[in-house]
Amino acid sequence: MTLHVSPVIRLPRMSVARDASFPGERVVPEETPVALTYNGSTHAVMMASPSDLEDFAIGFSLSEGIIHEPADLLSMEIVEHDLGCEIRMWLSDRRGSSYQMRRRALAGPVGCGLCGVESLAEATRPVKTVTGSLRLPPGAVSTAMSDLSDAQRLNREARAIHAAAYWRPGEGVIAIREDVGRHNALDKLAGALAGSSEPRSDGLVLLTSRVSVEMVQKTARMGAAILVAVSAPTALAVRVADSCGITLVAVARGDAFEVFTHPERIDLRLV
């Protein structure tokens, strides 16, 4: 569905520098409330870029464990409102019953600070162990991050948008999704890749943000064995990445980067 709202807009602004001012314009990212509903019940309202919302809905549903595969969604409709967008999803009978039981079991929001998570148990739920035989020379990391930068179409316009991408050696960026929210960008990427049966363990997930534990959990559910980010990780993110088998590479800028977990996938003998 094509929305009437653009993910970036051009706004007038006054620039001031060295005691002088002049009018002009700047391209800035748009963000809009997006309500995600399942079987007629609102699950969460997220602030997101109004683009690739189908991918966002699928990726969010997978990341939250509401569905196990895209086929669990029987239908999806995106409805525009004056105040935002609503993604209406209907679940298969099996997933719908499970979802209703889950909602009844939750005590309600507890203010734990994690988007869409309604209990601390949900926030710290274990993720599957990731395996993968991919081995990379150190130069592949800088190449991948350079390719990511080149592929950020929206960010080139607005300079304030996160990206998540899947990169494969010899092929480059296979898919990229951008959003004002780093979690949203990764959910959109997961949704974009969900329809493919190709393994994820033969490539890298790339992020333009810091690495919090949710980003590691989402990457693990995608099945990717190597996660590379431009900024630093949290301590909990490192612990979870180590426990689930992900090679966590962070502070990847230029030719430099830091490996926090499972360094065996990066051939450091070539450094």
Active site residues: 112
Residue 104 — very low, low, confident or very high, per pLDDT cuts 50/70/90?
low
Residue 108 — very low, low, confident or very high, per pLDDT cuts 50/70/90?
very low
pLDDT in tens, 111-158: 333 444 444 455 566 788 999 899 999 999 999 999 999 999 999 999
pLDDT in tens, 26-72: 888 988 899 999 999 999 999 999 999 999 999 999 999 999 999 99
Query: Domains plus CATH for the chain?
Result: 32-123 (3.10.20.10), 138-270 (3.40.140.10)
pLDDT value of position 150: 97
Q: Which of 12-21, 89-98, 238-247 has the lowest mean pLDDT?
A: 12-21
Largest CA distance in the chain: 66
The SS3 of residue 33 is strand
Note whether 43 and 36 are within 8 A (CB).
yes
pLDDT value of position 24: 85
| Interaxial angle between packed helices 235-244 and 213-222, expressed in degrees from 0 to 180 and rounded to the nearest 10 | 20
Note whether 95 and 65 are within 8 A (CB).
no
Residue 109 — very low, low, confident or very high, per pLDDT cuts 50/70/90?
very low
Q: What percent of the chain has pLDDT over 70?
A: 90
Q: What is the mean pLDDT of the chain?
A: 88
CA dihedral 101, 107, 113, 115 (to 10 degrees): 20
Does residue 106 surpass a pLDDT of 70? no
Give the integer Cα–Cα distance in Å for 125 and 142: 32
pTM for this entry: 0.86
pLDDT value of position 117: 42
- The dihedral region occupied by 147, where left means phi > 0, alpha psi between -120 and 50, and beta the remainder, is alpha
Alpha-carbon distance values, 74 to 66, 80, 227 (Å): 13, 20, 31
Residue 228 — very low, low, confident or very high, per pLDDT cuts 50/70/90?
very high
